[in-house]
Amino acid sequence: MEWYQVAIVFAVAFLVTYVSVPFSKWLARKMGAIDFPSNRRVNKEPVPRCGGVALYLGMVAACFVIFLGVRFFRWNLPVLFALGDVNYLVLYVGITCMFITGLVDDITQLKAMPKFLAQIAACSIVVFSGVSIGAVNNFGHGFVDLGWMNYPLSVLYLLVFVNITNLIDGLDGLAAGLVAIIAAALLYLAWIRGNYLLVLCCVALIAVCLAFLRYNFFPASVFMGDSGSLVLGLLVGIISITGVVRTQGLMVMIAPLVIAGVPVLDTTSAIIRRLRGHQPIGQADMGHVHHRLMKAGLSQRRSVAALWLCSAALSVMACLMVGAGSRARYIMFAILVIIVAAVSWKFGLFKPVLRHHYENRGNVGPRRPHKRK
């Protein structure tokens, strides 16, 4: 792989996304896909939410350029065994189905169950294309073939990334910035394994996110909507499976989850919070980590910057874990767990589970029972 190839892919992805954003804004207004201010939203003015159209077009254009380079210009992009058996046409269909699901939701506000079933269908198509976990390294003692469990586990893995990206998309520029940081870490992991096709895919993903941030950073003139967040989450899941998870050891397999630690932690706390509150998991609320940062006094810009910084730190930690020895990995992972637990406690991310600790903090004597509303 040559540097000019990286530059071409980045430039195409960036420019196509950049020039497509005005079209996505026009389409959103035409279709009535507008986010109006409410008590569960932070925007103060109506904002179109079909920015995912520009992100999708940018990624498709970049992938088409890669195809042309390999087919007609002799780009040498080793794919290794992890991508050797992938049917790229079926993969494209699966990604497009996820995009269409998000776009329909942006326009018509799909109910939770039909939307989730459509996500499962799109992820299933992706797995059917050949993108799957396959086998797991048995702590250095050979590989364990997952057998029939490979398909449901791979679909579940992709669904996790799709939904954590969707749920974290709550502040201007937050999701796009986090995905760019996650893609940069995955780029490094793909690079050290010599999988240059995935390197270019990561480059394209970073480019579309950076181009979109020109319009999406505070104050945003367009939101990516589900058409953007679902596709970005799916792409991150695909890259992490093919570039890291497939046939890797346990500690290396969790690297993508560490890299995506901010949205993973936020999603986990949101699920617990809603289950304890007897609310649908897909119901929006104001309890996400970015909302808590703003309640703590940070502006929207500083809240986003803080979460970007946390994501970058987790990404560096995950990359160091991959390159470290077995004992060092476990030590680093233990330190990471302690830090995450401290941050979670500080901002009350799991307050519904540990409510009695928070409500009685600083008091003496017997603990007071929680008064139900």
| Model confidence pLDDT, tens digit, residues 55-89 | 999 999 999 999 999 888 888 887 655 566 789 99
Q: Supply the pLDDT for residue 189.
A: 85
Q: Supply the pLDDT for residue 358.
A: 44
Position 367 pLDDT exceeds 70: no
Which is it for strands 47-48 and 135-137: parallel, antiparallel or unpaired? unpaired
355 falls in which pLDDT band (50, 70, 90)? very low
Q: Supply the pLDDT for residue 324.
A: 66
Q: Is 226 annotated as a binding residue?
A: yes
End-to-end CA distance of the chain: 62
d(CA 281, CA 119): 15
Q: What is the DSSP letter of 372?
A: P
Position 357 pLDDT exceeds 50: no
Q: Is 105 annotated as a binding residue?
A: no
Position 186 pLDDT exceeds 80: yes
Helix, strand and coil content of the chain, in percent to the nearest 5, comes to: 70, 5, 30
Element (H, E) at 27: helix 3-31
Mean pLDDT in residue range 140-153: 74
Position 364 pLDDT exceeds 50: no
Q: Classify 35 as helix, strand or coil.
A: strand
- Of 195 and 14, the structure prediction assigns the larger pLDDT to 14
Average pLDDT, the chain: 79
Position 124 pLDDT exceeds 90: yes
Q: Supply the pLDDT for residue 195.
A: 84
How large a percentage of the chain has pLDDT more than 90? 35
Domains of the chain: which residue ranges? 3-359
Q: Best-predicted range by mean pLDDT among 140-154, 167-181, 202-216, 318-332? A: 202-216
Of 205-219, 328-342, 343-357, the poorest mean pLDDT is in: 343-357
Of 31-40, 45-54, 166-175, the poorest mean pLDDT is in: 31-40
Tell me if 181 sits within 8 A of 315, measured CB to CB: yes
Q: Supply the pLDDT for residue 76.
A: 83
253 falls in which pLDDT band (50, 70, 90)? low
Q: How does DSSP assign 238-272, residue by residue?
A: HHHIIIIITT--HHHHTHHHHHTHHHHHHHHHHHH
132 falls in which pLDDT band (50, 70, 90)? confident
Position 54 pLDDT exceeds 90: yes
Q: Supply the pLDDT for residue 369.
A: 43
Tell me if 167 sits within 8 A of 263, measured CB to CB: yes
